[in-house]
Structure 1
Amino acid sequence: MLSRYIFLALVLLPFRASAFYFYGYGGDRKCFMKELSKDTLLKGSFNLGVYDDKLEDYPLPSSKDYGMIIDVEEVFDNYHRVVHQQSSPSGDFTFLALESGEYKICFQSQVKNWVGKSKTKLEVEFEVGFEAMLDSKRKETLKTLHGKVNVLNSKVMEIRREQRLVREREESFRDISEHVNSRAMWWTVIQVIVLILICIWQMKRLHSFFIKQKVL
């Protein structure tokens, strides 16, 4: 049910795309600020190029030499980090904003081997809205969200079943306790009656004995 609401909310969102590229060096960290509304889906794609003197261009490096770290932080919540992803030099990521506010999205190139501090070119593109879900990976993301919702629903149902079982056990225990208490009360009443009868009988026996002995 929750996934349907998210789906309908995203359908109403307009599609927005923005692309940037920056020059820097290996290990540099580039950050972007994005204002997102609740339940907005953000798709980010990136491509890291490393300068080659022979080609005089920025081709894609080997994943053995370079990588990329993606972080997403909630600025409105004291920069609480909600995404930390390590990826190859080229790839993408998807993020669903659970709260409205400003988000800080950072990309940091990661030098894995000693290849020197080479010049780099980072190309970044953001897509905000429902259209970012039309490719196959976004469909997989929706399926993942739907699967998580189903898991949560299953856990809720399991908790409800356990609570119902606990209530039934409590009712059974209460009935047994009341039954035992009732029996204990009647047993106490019977004991008191028996003691009274024994006392009366003993008094009569003593009275008869004293009369025979001419004490009374």
Structure 2
Amino acid sequence: MLFDNFLQLIFLWLYMSSKVSGFYYYGNGGDRKCFSKELSKETLLNIQYNVQSYDENMKTYVNANNQEFDVLFDVEETFDDNHRVVSQKMVPSGLFTFLAIESGEHRFCISPQATKWMSKGKTKVTLEFLIGKDAQIDSKKKSSFQTLHNKINILNEKVLEIRREQKLIREREALFRDASESVNSSAMWWTIVQLIVLIGTCAWQMRHLRTFFVKQKVL
């Protein structure tokens, strides 16, 4: 039982070590430190970093101020004659994300730069590399995609609702048009019937008067 647990711990450690690697190093402000990583195509690399500067008064390292330090990240494709594909300036602490376009060895260089030209103190840089597929470790983009997907679903629902309302309006217009045509048709036929009755009544009255005048020997 203990041996099985020991093997499980070893496998877990090997798995985690293949996905995540973290360390720190010391340097002076402006020093450029590079690391090489072999990445396959469409592999995502996240670098969680934090830059600390040495405080002479406190005699220890404290988190660097955004107003005093910038961090420059460079990514070069060593397999393509050290072609630089990324050069990005960032804040002293954050997350740098890189998606490999081609397979091969990539060089990642980090350079803490003091914004004040007189300031070049000691620095401590902590780095944590997380390597994996986009769908595995890029949770922020996945969350953004999920949010966008939800918004698209809401828009689709609104479009369907508008279409249903338009269909209902068209059906009501069709019913109103049929009713109007029916009323107009009924009114026309009623007018024709009235005209026929009126003509018949006039003809009958003329005949009746003619017969009356003949009997009275008026005509």
What TM-score bracket applies, with the shorter chain setting the length?
0.5 to 0.7
* Alpha-carbon distance, 1:141 to partner: 7.6
CA distance in 2, matches of 1:80, 1:116: 31
Q: 1:23 aligns with which of 3, 23, 26?
A: 26
Do structure 1's residue 103 and structure 2's residue 106 form an aligned pair?
yes
CA contact (8 A) 1:28 1:108 kept: yes
* Cα-to-partner distance string for 1:105-157 (whole Å, 9 max, x where unaligned): 000011111453211001111100133212x2x436868xx9xxxxxxxxxxx
Query: Does the 8 Å CA contact 1:75/1:103 hold for their aligned counterparts?
Result: yes
2:55 is equivalent to residue 78 of structure 1? no
Residue 121 of structure 2 is aligned to residue 118 of structure 1 = yes
Identity in percent: 46
In the alignment, which residue of structure 2 is the partner of 1:159?
A: none
Does the 8 Å CA contact 1:33/1:103 hold for their aligned counterparts?
yes
Counterpart of 1:76 in 2: which secondary structure?
A: helix
The SS at the match of 2:63 is: coil
**Paired residues of 1:65 and 1:115 also in contact (CA < 8 A):** no
- Contact 1:51/1:59 (<8 A) preserved: yes
Residues 50 and 44 of structure 1: CA distance in aligned 2, closer, same or farther (over 3 Å): same
Q: Secondary structure at the match of 1:51?
A: strand
Residue number in structure 2 paired with 1:132: 137
TM-score by length of 1: 0.55
Structure 1 residues 29 and 17, CA gap change in structure 2 (3 angstroms)? same
Aligned mates of 1:57, 1:109 — CA distance in 2: 18
Kindly state the Cα deviation for residue 73 of structure 1 after the two structures are TM-superposed.
0.5
Q: Distance in 2 between matches of 1:129 and 1:141?
A: 18
Q: After superposition, where does 1:55-70 map in structure 2 within 5 Å? A: 55-70=58-73
Secondary structure of residue in 2 paired with 1:139: helix
Give the unaligned 5+ runs of structure 1.
1-13, 147-216
Cα drift, residue 42 of structure 1 = 0.5
Q: 1:141 to 1:124 in 2, by over 3 A?
A: farther
Q: Structure 2 counterpart of 1:79, which letter?
A: N
1:39-54 equivalence runs, <5 A: 39-54=42-57
The offset of 1:68, in angstroms, is 0.3
Shift of 1:90: 0.7
What 5-or-longer segments of structure 2 have no aligned partner? 1-15, 150-219
Counterpart code for 1:74: E
* Correspondence for 2:97: 94
Query: Which amino acid is the alignment partner of residue 123 of structure 2?
Result: T
Aligned mates of 2:41, 2:20 — CA distance in 1: 18
| Structure 2 residue identity aligned to 1:87 | M
Q: Secondary structure at the match of 1:106?
A: strand
Note closer, same or farther for the CA distance 1:127–1:142 as it changes in structure 2 (3 Å cut): farther
2: distance between equivalents of 1:142 and 1:82? Answer: 25
1:77-122 residue CA offsets vs partner (Å, 9 max, x unmatched): 0111111110111111111111111000000011111453211001
